[in-house]
């Protein structure tokens, strides 16, 4: 059974944009989690989004560096967040992150970094955009989430 964003306590609905894009604020709180034999502080929102990808798609679905799974089937960490993903999430934690969903599918994540406070949208292929990327009639458009209008 698929996990929907509205059913995830780690996501808080913010607003709806054109093209039926729903924006959710990602819970940035941390809890100590047993992870591969270690106790690590893990972000609740990051774990929830990774779990959603694993359930709704598959373990090998690996969009976004901040949600990457370990893919080596011989590793004890197979199917779990990679250490690079955990580090990347912390690196991009200067400001809150926003997740964009369309028809229940995670399409983009917006965040900034400790070295660049400009917010950037990242699509499933990990390409950056000024506005929230959405594919409509085979074309990729960018939606300005502040004005709720197509950029350009």
- Residue ranges covered by each domain of the chain: 5-150
20-34, 66-80, 119-133: range with lowest mean pLDDT: 66-80
Half-sphere exposure of 69 (CA within 13 A, CB side): 23
**Whole-number pLDDT of residue 80:** 87
Arithmetic mean of pLDDT, 43-51? 94
Confidence band (pLDDT; 50, 70, 90) for 79?
Answer: confident
Higher pLDDT, 9 or 63: 9
pLDDT in tens, 92-137: 877 789 999 999 999 999 988 666 667 899 999 889 999 999 999 9
Percent of the chain residues topping a pLDDT of 70: 96
Statement: residue 139 has pLDDT above 90: yes
41, 10 in Cβ contact below 8 A?
no
Q: Are 99 and 27 a contacting pair, CB within 8 Å?
A: no
Confidence of residue 59 (pLDDT cuts 50, 70, 90): confident
pLDDT of residue 77: 83
Q: What is the 3-state secondary structure (H, E, C) of the chain?
A: CCCCHHHCCCEEEEEEEHHHEEEEEECCCEEEEEECCEEEEEEHHHHHHHHHHHHHCCCCCCCCHHHCEECCCCCCCECCECHHHHHHHHHCCCCCCEEEEECCEEEEEEECCCCCCCCEEEECCCCEECCEEEEECCEEEEEECCCCEECC
pLDDT at position 35, please? 77
Angle CA 13–89–11, to nearest 5: 15
- More confident of the two residues 38 and 12: 12
Q: Which residues contact 140 (CB under 8 A, 6 or more apart)?
A: 123, 133, 134
* pLDDT value at residue 114: 66
Mean of per-residue pLDDT scores for the chain: 90
């Amino acid at each position: 059974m698929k996990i929907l964003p509205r059913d995830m306590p780690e996501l808080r609905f913010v607003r709806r944009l054109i093209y039926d894009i729903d924006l959710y604020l990602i819970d940035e709180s941390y809890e100590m989690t047993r992870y591969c034999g270690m106790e690590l502080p893990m972000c609740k929102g990051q774990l929830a989004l990774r779990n959603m990808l694993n359930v709704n798609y598959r373990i090998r679905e690996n969009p976004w560096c901040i949600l990457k799974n370990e893919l080596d089937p011989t590793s004890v960490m197979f199917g779990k967040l990679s250490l690079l993903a955990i580090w990347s999430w912390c690196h991009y934690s200067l400001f809150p992150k926003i997740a964009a969903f369309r028809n229940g599918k995670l399409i983009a994540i917006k965040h900034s970094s400790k070295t660049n406070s400009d917010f950037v949208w990242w699509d499933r292929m990990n390409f950056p955009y000024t506005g929230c990327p959405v594919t409509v009639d085979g074309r990729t458009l960018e939606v300005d989430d502040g004005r709720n209008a197509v950029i350009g």
